[in-house]
Amino acid sequence: MSSDQQGSSAGVLRFTKMHGCGNDYVYLDAWRQDLPEDLPALAQVMSQRRFGVGSDGLVVLGPGQRQAARMRMFNADGSESEMCGNALRCCAWLAFTRGHIGTPEMVFETGAGDLPVTCLVDDQGRCTGVRVAMGTPRLEPSAVPVDHPGPGPLLELALDDVDRVPWRMIAVGMGNPHAVCCVDDVDQAPVTSVGPRIECHPRFPRRTNVEFIARLADEGGMPVLRQRTWERGAGETWACGTGAAAATVAAMLTGLIPHGSAIVRLNGGDLRMSWDGHGDVVMIGPASHVYDGEWPLA
């Protein structure tokens, strides 16, 4: 079915599958169709890898109340998250490519606030990538949020009575909570064992995303960070845009890389990040359309 057709068939929900660096979601266009009320349950069913569409979660885009557009995202377990940078790039691609917003520059309402987005357009008018102002990092513990007396964002957690050495991490809020851990070798890091324990640690009242990072050799004079993410409500994902922002901030605050620009290398590809120590973290990355489909509502 063509993506240019309007409306949806009776008893059928039309969706789009997209990914940003392998961080894949099911997208529902609320400009074109009415949506079911129970979106958390729909996210759980559609996100199943073997029995549904298969994705890291469900994303709804449509008209906003303050801005022209709004994004809501639900993790694969049905929990609603504040924001996802990879999903926001895909939402911008859809809004621009399908003509819902007529200019490359737009502002999306998200759970992390109103975020400016710019589609990078080639000579043929095609969106080749998306630039996102991710917002100012939140380092005060109450804004992450994390139960941490400070001072500063450096946090040490003993995960249970078995652990003899606490895990050291930087707590960063990007509208959603992150805990960034510096390790020697990201590919050997215990992402799937330590990640879920940090995610659900009682000192993170809304749970947290967990990043494992290390510095690689510079490329073209630019520092490179390797990152893997245990994503709250989804498990390990191939990419995390807000996680890349949090990782960049944490790496700059600890002196792992200098302030400025950096490449963040994720399982699914690279993101270009920049932060000068003040104001917004800026992300540039791809948005990839996979296919359009229909989901029976009965």
Ordered domains of the chain (ranges, CATH): 12-118+288-296 (3.10.310.10), 141-279 (3.10.310.10)
| Predicted model pTM | 0.90
pLDDT above 70 covers what percent of the chain? 95
Q: Is 90 labeled as catalytic in the residue annotation?
A: no
Q: Give whole-number Cα distances, 124 to 67, 117, 132, 219, in Å.
A: 27, 20, 22, 30
**pLDDT at residue 75 is higher than 50:** yes
**pLDDT at residue 151 is higher than 50:** yes
Q: What is the pLDDT of residue 163?
A: 58
Give the model confidence (pLDDT) of 45-62 as tens digits: 999 999 999 999 999 999
Q: Is 21 labeled as catalytic in the residue annotation?
A: no
State the burial class of residue 187 (Cβ atoms within 10 Å of its Cβ: 0-12, 13-18, 19+): exposed
The answer to whether 248 and 273 have CB atoms below 8 angstroms apart is yes
Spatial distance between the Cα atoms of 62 and 107, rounded to a whole number of angstroms: 12
The answer to whether 129 and 286 have CB atoms below 8 angstroms apart is yes
Mean pLDDT over 182-203 rounds to 95
**φ, ψ of residue 222 in degrees (nearest 5):** -110, 135
Rg (CA), the chain: 19
DSSP code for 138: B
173 closest CA partner among 218, 204, 196, 213: 204
Catalytic residue among 84, 90, 91, 119: 84
Give the model confidence (pLDDT) of 83-118 as tens digits: 999 999 999 999 999 999 999 999 999 999 999 999
Q: How confident is the model at residue 164 (pLDDT cuts 50, 70, 90)?
A: low
Catalytic residue among 90, 119, 127, 240: 240
Q: How confident is the model at residue 10 (pLDDT cuts 50, 70, 90)?
A: low
